[in-house]
Amino acid sequence: MMEVNVLNIKGEDTGRKVVLNDAIFGIEPNDHVIYLAVKQYMANQRQGTHKSKERSEISGSTRKLGRQKGGGGARRGDINSPLLVGGARVFGPKPRDYSFKLNKKVKLLARKSALSYKAKENNIVVVEDFELEAPKTKEFVNIINNLNVSGKKLLMVLPGVNKNVYLSARNLQRTSIMTASALNTYSVLNAETLVVTENALKAIEDTLVK
């Protein structure tokens, strides 16, 4: 059972501790399901709009350039032949959908495995819930500095949509904001450190422990 100190936005210890649920943060990570979940995430990001012209789609004369036999080279027909510069492409890419299905239990295990890795590496910071009165990047940077996570690739997990926090962090290159319900394996692994608010931690447990 792993306990983590709860900090406030000034980086001070509040004196409270939260217990990270072993069913989520203390399992033996399964690398293969992590691979599958990340592969699915990356595949789903692909537009799949690649296209090259095949022989029937190229505009060019269909006149046969040379005799069929006796020329000493390979047989070829018109100027659109794939053998010639500027000709068509054989078996070129066509628009297609790269997405594929994964079972819910596999994706669930992958998220738990990724979170367990972060817990093992002590890369989870729990902060008490906070609000920003207005979108202020400077204020958000101060919070990051207070928590000693500046300079790291950061994922902050909130219990729900918080427009002011999102807008405050939007211009920061190595910082991402995400709600607990949208948390995915790729985002967890892509970040060096997770900063999770108390209510977000409860939301993660509600989502991943059924």
Position 1 pLDDT exceeds 80 = no
- Quote the pTM value: 0.82
Residues of the chain with CATH 3.40.1370.10: 2-47+101-208
DSSP code string of the chain:
-EEEEEE-TTS-EEEEEEEEPHHHHSS---HHHHHHHHHHHHHHH---------GGGS-S-----S-SSSSSS----STT-TTSTT---TT------------HHHHHHHHHHHHHHHHHTT-EEEE-----SS--HHHHHHHHHHTT-TTS-EEEEESS--HHHHHHHTT-TTEEEEEGGG--HHHHHH-SEEEEEHHHHHHHHHHH--
Which tens digit of pLDDT belongs to each residue from 65-122?
Answer: 888 999 898 888 899 999 888 889 999 999 999 999 999 999 999 999 999 999 999 9
pLDDT (0 to 100) of residue 2? 83
Let me know if domain 2-47+101-208 sits in CATH 3.30.420.240. no
